[in-house]
């Protein structure tokens, strides 16, 4: 027997654009305040019964001809695009529809664009919520009011400002290949993206958003939402957690079939597929959040898709968050489910043996999301696994550090660092980047990487002489002292000179070292092409070893020239390159290596 299940809706968008605030408004709770950095990091779910939708949306439902037959809406409270991709990749096409939240004042941000790319890739229909209209100057706020009603109450200047901002959003969508319009101006929902202006904070426009989701789901997704009620259940584990009196439980989203209290289920474990029998099914009350219920759960005999459910069963200690869960009703089905689950887990966990970073995370979903982000940034991964950071991870990172110091590091998402691991990491200087906001962990690594490179460059620069070509002034008046040290006026023809640089003549003979450089009355640390300065040279005597009008060269070594060309090329400007070529002509008389330059 088939029935229509509630659509599963994902909420995507850039950090702080209001994903959780919108769900809060629908839920009338406040999860946003409790999340790390105000950003939703774990996948939660909220079931909104159709009665609530009708209550919030009221008369707007008449916009849809005919009765809304959906039982309700199930919102996945995603940490943006990361969770969305990982939920898709696990074989469960978890979201039927998405809401893309854009801060109408900030417009498109990096994660907005990333979210759109992913929605395109997975061909997921979506609606745009243009949030934070209450921040438009002079906007009159009335809580929970329908947008169209609220818009009419605004003065002309505020209306015009919103229209301008919406046109910017519509224009950007056009550039990305989408036709978009304000929802009440859309002619054909299959061809145009609907944009609903909202204030998640004050509930303005939320009614229209819910009506649109319910109506579009029913009209265009009816076939997809028809499920085989009697079939065995399939779902995804959101979280594994200890519950007082129940032991280890799993929070699950069921997206197909029916799960019964005595069913045998197969779930993914750390190194194996776990087969166990359900002891209790606990369903959160409607309008409650499965992660953070303010009231106790209801014990139920069975649950049909789509819904969020907590399962208590033996042997769930090793269950992996993010792994599939499949109900199996025969030995053959159990074996098939084990095979399918293991192949999915193997795809996410990485054991490459190559030079790369170590990645640890608390769930399969966050591991997959963090690994994906790193791979997109071309950061190679040696090992990616679920669990806390241990001493073995540190020792493995240490072996990598010997070959590449930038990759001898550990990334951790929402995990602890074991005490012995911390001690070894500090002693051996293995950097560990941990946190509970994915993009922040990667940002910390990138900042460290930049600082390390700059420090390395500073050290190299301090050890390396740059090429320079100088000419003594021909006029004898610019000989200020003939020896101990010789002080003469010169012009830098190419490159640069610094105190401490040795000098050679055109025949390759070394004649002395620059002690100091003076420009007018000031001693300076460097003179470049075109500068006319006085230099003190320890070693030669003017008239015997060097002469007015003579050209001298900075004496640089083979190692230095290799370093300049290979590691410091970006520091060389055109005049340095010309100075290097001139110096090579002089030095090749005695050393054929310089002819290769």
- 318: three-class secondary structure by DSSP: coil
CA-CA distances (angstroms) from residue 4 to 64, 216, 256? Answer: 18, 14, 11
384 is written with which tokens? Answer: 């990616």
Say if CB 119 and CB 100 are below 8 A apart.
yes
Kindly report the number of other CB atoms within 10 A of residue 190's CB atom. Answer: 9
Q: 590: closest CA among 557, 546, 550?
A: 557
- Residues 6+ away with beta carbon under 8 Å from 427: none
**Angstrom distance (rounded) from CA 187 to CA 193:** 10
Q: Tokens 């921040």 — which residue?
A: 135
Q: What is the DSSP letter of 476?
A: G
Is 547 among the residues known to form the active site? no
**Angstrom distance (rounded) from CA 311 to CA 525:** 72
**Angstrom distance (rounded) from CA 209 to CA 196:** 6
Q: 213: closest CA among 149, 131, 127?
A: 127
Catalytic residue among 14, 17, 81, 547: 81
Kindly report the number of other CB atoms within 10 A of residue 143's CB atom. Answer: 11
Q: Tokens 């819910």 — which residue?
A: 210
Give the dihedral of Cα atoms 164, 168, 169, 175; nearest 10 deg.
Answer: 150
What residues are paired with 236 via a beta bridge?
253, 324
Alpha-carbon 546 to chain mean position? 61
For the annotated catalytic residues, the residue numbers are 81
């Amino acid at each position: 027997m088939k029935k229509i299940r509630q659509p599963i809706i994902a909420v995507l968008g850039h950090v702080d654009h209001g994903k959780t605030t919108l769900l809060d408004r629908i839920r009338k709770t406040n999860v946003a305040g409790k999340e790390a950095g105000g950003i939703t990091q774990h996948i939660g779910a909220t079931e909104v019964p159709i009665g609530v939708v009708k209550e919030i949306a009221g008369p707007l439902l008449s916009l849809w001809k005919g009765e809304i037959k959906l039982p309700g809406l199930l919102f996945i409270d995603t940490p943006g695009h990361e969770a969305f991709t990982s939920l898709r990749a696990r074989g469960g096409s978890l979201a039927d529809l998405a809401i893309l939240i854009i801060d109408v004042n900030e417009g498109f941000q990096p994660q907005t664009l990333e979210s759109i790319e992913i929605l395109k890739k997975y061909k997921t229909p979506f609606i745009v919520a243009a949030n934070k209209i209450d921040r438009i100057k002079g906007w009159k706020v009335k809580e929970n009011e329908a947008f169209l009603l609220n818009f009419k109450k605004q003065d002309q200047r505020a209306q015009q400002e919103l229209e301008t901002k919406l046109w910017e959003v519509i224009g950007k969508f056009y550039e990305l290949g989408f036709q978009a319009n304000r929802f009440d101006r859309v002619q054909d929902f299959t061809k145009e993206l609907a944009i609903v202006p909202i204030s998640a904070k004050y509930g303005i426009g939320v009614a229209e958003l819910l009506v649109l989701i319910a109506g579009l789901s029913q009209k265009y997704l009816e076939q997809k939402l028809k499920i085989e009620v009697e079939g065995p259940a399939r779902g995804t584990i959101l979280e594994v957690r200890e519950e007082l009196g129940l032991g280890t439980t799993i929070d699950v989203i069921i997206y197909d079939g029916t799960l019964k209290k005595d069913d045998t289920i197969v779930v993914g474990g750390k190194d194996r597929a776990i087969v166990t029998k359900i002891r209790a099914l606990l369903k959160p009350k409607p309008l409650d959040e499965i992660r953070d219920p303010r009231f106790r759960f209801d014990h139920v005999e069975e649950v049909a898709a789509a819904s969020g459910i907590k399962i208590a069963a033996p042997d769930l200690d090793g269950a992996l968050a993010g792994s599939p869960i499949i109900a199996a009703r025969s030995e053959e089905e159990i074996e098939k489910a084990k095979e399918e689950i293991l192949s999915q887990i193997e795809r996410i966990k990485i054991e490459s043996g190559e030079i790369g970073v170590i990645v640890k995370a608390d769930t399969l979903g966050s591991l997959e999301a963090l690994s994906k982000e790193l791979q997109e940034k071309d950061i190679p991964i040696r090992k990616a696994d679920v669990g806390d950071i241990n001493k073995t991870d540190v020792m493995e990172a240490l072996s990598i550090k010997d070959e590449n110091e930038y990759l001898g590091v550990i990334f951790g998402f929402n995990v602890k660092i074991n005490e012995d691991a911390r001690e070894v990491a500090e002693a051996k200087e293995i950097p560990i980047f941990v946190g509970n906001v994915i993009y922040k962990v990667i940002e910390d690594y990138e900042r460290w990487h930049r600082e390390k490179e700059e420090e390395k460059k500073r050290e190299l620069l301090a050890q390396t002489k740059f090429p320079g070509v100088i000419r003594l002034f021909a006029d004898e008046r610019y000989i200020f002292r003939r020896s101990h040290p010789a002080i003469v006026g010169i012009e830098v023809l190419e490159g640069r000179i610094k105190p401490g640089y040795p000098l050679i003549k055109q025949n390759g003979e070394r004649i002395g070292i620059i002690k100091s450089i003076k420009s007018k009355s000031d001693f300076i640390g460097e003179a470049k092409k075109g500068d006319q300065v006085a230099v003190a040279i320890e070693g030669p005597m003017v008239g015997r070893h060097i002469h007015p009008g003579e050209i001298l060269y900075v004496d640089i070594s083979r190692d230095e020239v290799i370093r300049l060309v290979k590691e410091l090329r970006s520091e060389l400007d055109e005049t340095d390159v010309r100075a290097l070529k001139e110096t090579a002509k002089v030095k090749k008389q005695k050393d054929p290596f310089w002819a290769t330059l």
